[in-house]
Structure 1
Amino acid sequence: MRRLASLALAATLSFPATSVIAKNAESSNTSVPETLGFVEWVVMNDTNLRLKARLDTGAKTSSLHAVNVEGFKKDNEEWVKFQLPLGDHEDQPSEGDVEHEDVVLEFERPVHRTVLIKRKGAPSQRRYVVNMEFCIAGTIHETQFSLTDRGNFSYPVLLGRRFMRDDNILIDSADSFIAQQDCEYSTLEEIAKQAD
């Protein structure tokens, strides 16, 4: 019995960990996990807006800063409109005279679902959830975002476990902005022109 245990241990030790990860990824048709920092830049696809995102394993659903959130009907379907004021988080690079406070982006999206958020020391809150595409680490992704006012938070975007699981992302909780590739984004002036 001791000899069998020794052989099993020797067999285990003879393969480097990366080979095991690569082999498992190959057999399950998924890629090797990408490691990102606990804070990274994201670029929202339809606007080229660059925002700081916190990658949070404590949250299941991702969330996006949104104000004046209102549901409405469009072609007998549930839709939601909302605004994203750039003055709340001045993440967009500027090359001119445009002030962040002067730019408010408006969005309309179909409602994917609504979610009831339980908050410590406050009443529960129902939030709209929409699907949105964004770029992180040079790659386009789509995930569900709950819409909520994150104006008092350091990061306008929070990326949760659903995104990490679906897109095979690991988090280095000791580091930030470690993505190997960048995403293209627009300047504040370019975004202001699009919003007009």
Structure 2
Amino acid sequence: MSSPIPQAQVPPAPSDPPVLLNPPILLGWREFAALPRLGIAAMRAKIDTGARSSALHVDAQWRFVEAGAPWVGFRLSRGVVGASVVEATAPVFDEREVTDSGGHRTRRVFIRTVLSLAGSEREIDINLADRRGMRFPMLLGRTAVAHAFTVDPSRSFLHGRVRRRAPRA
């Protein structure tokens, strides 16, 4: 019996989607995620493969110019009662129209930052939005989870929960 002939490994063309080298990480429909460059250690996030882009709730945002390039400053609360307010700045990566789940179109600022989720880190694009009425201050759309994660919509917090501290006596 002869052994099979090894196949040449051809790198994918730039237009081809990235090839998964490892099995994807399984996520529930909601998880805790971090945005370490923004000083956010843990925030409840809804994993929404029906949404193309990701969104981060901000209470306020302002634009400024740094070294001739557009930047955005913003303030947010992490959606946890008693949590401190986070203030951060980032270069503006893009600005484009986004259609929300109600069909309303708004122009939003996008930043590019590192997402830390389920022991994995990757750069993602995320838009800054007013998600005040939503249950999750962060929404991770399919472009943020593509080629690295799969989602089981029947499960939640597969990678642990952030425990709330007991009230001080």
Q: Is TM (by shorter chain) over 0.5?
A: yes
CA distance in 1 between partners of 2:21 and 2:149 (Å) = 11
CA distance in 1 between partners of 2:151 and 2:87 (Å) = 31
2:80: which partner in 1? 90
SS where residue 162 of structure 1 aligns? helix
The structure in which a higher percent of residues are helix is: 1
**Matched AA of 1:173:** P
Of 116, 127, 132, the match for 1:151? 132
2:154: which partner in 1? 174
Q: Does 1:76 align with 2:95?
A: no
Of 55, 60, 79, the match for 1:63? 55
CA-CA distance at 1:141 after TM superposition: 2.0
CA shift digits 1:98-132 (9 cap, x unpaired): x33xx32111100110120234364x211000011
* TM-score normalised over the length of structure 1: 0.66
Unaligned runs of at least 5 residues, structure 2: 1-18
CA-CA distance at 1:48 after TM superposition: 4.5
Determine which structure has more spread, i.e. the larger CA radius of gyration. 1
CA-CA distance at 1:85 after TM superposition: 2.2
Unaligned runs of at least 5 residues, structure 1: 1-27, 92-98, 189-196
CA distance in 2 between partners of 1:118 and 1:29 (Å) = 30
CA distance in 2 between partners of 1:121 and 1:110 (Å) = 28
* TM-score normalised over the length of structure 2: 0.76
Equivalences, count: 144
1:52: which partner in 2? 44
Of 18, 21, 24, the match for 1:30? 21
CA-CA distance at 1:63 after TM superposition: 0.8
Of 108, 115, 133, the match for 1:134? 115
The structure in which a higher percent of residues are strand is: 2
**Matched AA of 2:28:** G
**Matched AA of 2:124:** T
CA distance in 2 between partners of 1:163 and 1:121 (Å) = 21
CA-CA distance at 1:67 after TM superposition: 2.1
